């Protein structure tokens, strides 16, 4: 794994907070000239430290305000079942994240929909029909207190 220095860490921290910052402003904040800063940024992208850039949308403005976490228990956890479930879950656009767990349930899904009616249809027609699903438990979110994509970066 590539070793990162203080400037690399600072670039990553700034970029995750403001992916639209200009190279000039980024370079100024990390005390580099434009070209070396751009070269570092491109290296961080090329080496997979930066996965991409995207706008964060307000789900309430685009009729996606209903948020539910769903625990999923599979009938079995053979490699074949897990692989089939993983592949199918990746194809459902309403599933924002899918995490394999240890413990009583096998997966935790984060799902957005327009309302409870749309979620109920999604649960019955799509989620329950994913390969290997034995049982689900739904947890509708009453209020999002914090939802941040920013990772802690230790700047040494």
Q: What pLDDT does residue 83 have?
A: 98
Q: What pLDDT does residue 10 have?
A: 96
Q: What pLDDT does residue 155 have?
A: 73
Burial 73-89 (b: 16+ CB within 10 A, else e): bbeeeeeebbeebeebb
Q: What pLDDT does residue 156 have?
A: 66
Q: What are phi and psi of 81, to 5 degrees?
A: -65, -45
CA-based torsion, 49, 53, 57, 59: positive or negative: negative
pLDDT in tens, the chain (156 residues): 568 999 999 999 999 999 999 999 999 999 999 999 999 999 999 999 999 999 999 999 999 999 999 999 999 999 999 999 999 999 999 999 999 999 899 999 999 999 999 999 999 999 999 999 999 999 999 999 999 999 999 876
pTM across the whole model: 0.88
Domains in the chain, start-ordered, CATH in brackets? 6-46 (1.10.10.10), 66-140 (3.30.70.920)
């Amino acid at each position: 794994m590539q070793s990162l220095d203080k400037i690399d860490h600072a670039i990553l921290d700034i970029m995750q907070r403001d992916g639209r910052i200009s190279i000039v402003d980024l370079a100024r904040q990390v005390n580099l000239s434009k070209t070396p800063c751009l070269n570092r940024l491109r290296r961080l992208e090329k080496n997979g430290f930066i996965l991409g850039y995207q706008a964060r949308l307000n789900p309430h403005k685009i009729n996606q305000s209903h948020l539910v976490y769903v625990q999923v228990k599979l009938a079995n956890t053979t490699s074949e079942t897990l692989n089939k479930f993983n592949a199918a879950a990746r194809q459902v656009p309403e599933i924002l994240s899918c995490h394999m767990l240890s413990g009583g349930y096998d997966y935790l899904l984060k799902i957005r929909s327009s309302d409870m009616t749309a979620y109920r249809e999604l649960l019955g027609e799509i989620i329950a029909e994913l390969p290997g699903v034995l049982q689900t438990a739904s947890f509708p979110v009453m209020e999002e207190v914090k939802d941040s994509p920013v990772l802690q970066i230790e700047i040494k």
